[in-house]
Amino acid sequence: MKVAYVLNTYPQPSHSFIRREVQALERQGVEVIRLAMRPSETVLVDPGDQREGQRTHYVLKAGPLGLLAALLAAAGATPGRFLAALKLAMRMGRVSAAGRLRHLIYLAEAAYVARRCKAAGVDHMHAHFGTNATTVALLAQELNGVPYSFTTHGPEEFDAPHALSLGEKVNRAAFAAAISSFGKSQLSRWADFGSWDRLKVVHCGIEPEKFSDPAPMPGGALRLVAIGRFVEQKGQMLLLRAMRQIVAENPEVHLTLIGDGEMRPDLEAEIHRAGLQDHVSLTGWLDEAGVRAELAASHVLVMPSFAEGLPMVVMEAMAAARPVLATYVAGTPELVVEGQTGWLVPAGDAQGLVDAVAEIAKLPQERLAAMGTAGRARVLERHDSDREAEKLAALFQESKAVDCPQTRTD
C-alpha cells in the first residue's frame, strides 16, 4: 500500500514522533511518500531528522507559478471536483482566522499534492495535526478522490475547533486518530454522531530497542530535567519561579532545560533575576542520543505544561526508567500514575511543583528506581511504535475497502 504523509513543517526536532511513525509503517511494508509544505527553520541536529529532510518533497519549493499551474490544471481536468473544492475552501476560510485568501493558497497546495499523489499511485493520504496540513489533505481528496485521514495531538486543535473546521474534517475523513482517549473525547465534541465509529486512538510510539539498557538511577543530589519547546504552554517559566523556592529549601537541586524557542530570552532573564545560574542549565536542542544521556544523568523528568496532548518526552523518560512529575492535563494521566510511575500536580500550580519536589528529594534512590521501573513497563506495554504502526496500517487498508464518507454540500 502507498500512503502520502501530508505535513506542514517536517521534520522538526519537536516532532520526532512523526518520523518514528513513518519509519515504523515502512517496516510494516507500507510505502510512504513524504509531502511537506516547508522544511524546518530550526537547524536539524539529529541525523535521523537530517535523513528525513532529504527524503521529503517540499510543496512550496514549486513556487507561486508551480502552484498556480497545478491549480489551473486541476480546474481544467475535473471542473466539477474543482468547483466543489473551491466552495469548500471558501466556506472554511469564512470561519477561519486565516481567512479566504489563505485558503485559496491551501487549495493551490492541495492541487499540487493531489497531482503528485495521482502520479505516484497513492492509495491514501494522512496528515498530522488538525490544522492546515489536514486542510490541504481534505481539499486534495475533494480534487482527486483519494481518501484521507489525520491524527490530532492537541492542544492547538482543541483551542480553536470552529476556526479549524475540525468537525468537518472529521466528518469527511476515512478516520480520525487521536493520540489519547482524552483527545478522542475532544473530537467527539465536534464530530457528527455518525462519525464516532471512525474516531480511533493510535498512540505516538517509542522504539523500545533504543531504550533496551536503561542507565541505573544516578546517585548524588537531585537532578531534574525538562524537555520541550520554549513556549508559554510548556510552563518552563512557572517551573523557574518554583525553582527559587525549591533551591531555597534544597540547595543541591539542579534543573536542566532541553529545548529552544521564542521564550528563551525570557527564561534566561528569569534565571539571572532569580540568581539560579548555578542551579539551571540550558542545553538547546539535542539529538536523540543527547536527550537519552541527559535522562540517564537525571532522577526525574518534570513536565510543567499548561496544555498538552500526550508528550513524547514523558514516554521517553519512562522508557529510560525515570519517574515523571507532570501536570494533570489532557492525556498525561493516562500514562503517569500518581504514586506508581510519578506525580501529578494541577497545571499552573507553582506551589504544587515545590511541594512535589520537596517530597521527591526525601525519597531514597531505591524508591525512585522502583517507580522508574514501573513506568518503563507501562510505557513499553502501551506505546511500542511498531504495534501502533500496525494499528495505523490496518486502518489505511480498511480505507481502501470502504467508500469515503459522503461529502457534504451544505
Query: For residue 407, is it within any domain?
Result: no
Q: How many domains does the chain have?
A: 2
Per the domain annotation, does 408 fall within a domain? no
Q: Does 166 have pLDDT greater than 50?
A: yes
Do 217 and 201 share a domain, yes or no? no
Q: Give the structural domain span for 220.
A: 210-382
Q: Can you tell me the distance from the alpha carbon of 190 to that of 155, in angstroms, rounded to the nearest whole number?
A: 15
Say if residue 311's pLDDT is above 90. Answer: no
Same domain, 389 and 345: no
Instruction: Please compute Rg for the chain using Cα positions.
Output: 22
One-letter amino acid of 194: G
Asked whether residue 135 falls in the same domain as residue 10, the answer is yes
pTM: 0.86
Residues 245, 145 share a domain: no
Same domain, 358 and 391: no
What is the per-residue pLDDT across 287-308, written as a single tens digit (0 to 9) for each? 888 999 999 999 999 999 999 8
**What's the confidence (pLDDT) of residue 410?**
35
Q: Are residues 328 and 236 in the same domain?
A: yes
- Residue 409 in any domain: the answer is no
Residues 82 and 145 in one domain: yes
| Cβ(38)–Cβ(67) below 8 Å | no
* DSSP bridge partners of 226: 257
156 falls within a domain: yes
**Residue 195 falls within a domain, yes or no?**
yes
Q: Write the CATH number for 318.
A: 3.40.50.2000
Whether 249 and 392 map to the same domain: the answer is no
What angle is formed at CA 112 by the lines to CA 38 and CA 57, rounded to 5 degrees? 40
Give me the phi and psi of 343, to 5 degrees please: -140, 145
What value, to the nearest 5°, has the Cα angle with vertex 183 and ends 356 and 21? 95
| 60 and 139 inside one domain | yes
Max intra-chain CA distance, the chain? 71
Tens of pLDDT, residues 61-99: 999 999 999 999 999 999 999 999 999 999 999 999 999
193 and 268 assigned to the same domain: no
| Per-residue cell: 51 | 535523513
Domain for residue 236, yes or no? yes
pLDDT higher than 90, residue 210:
no
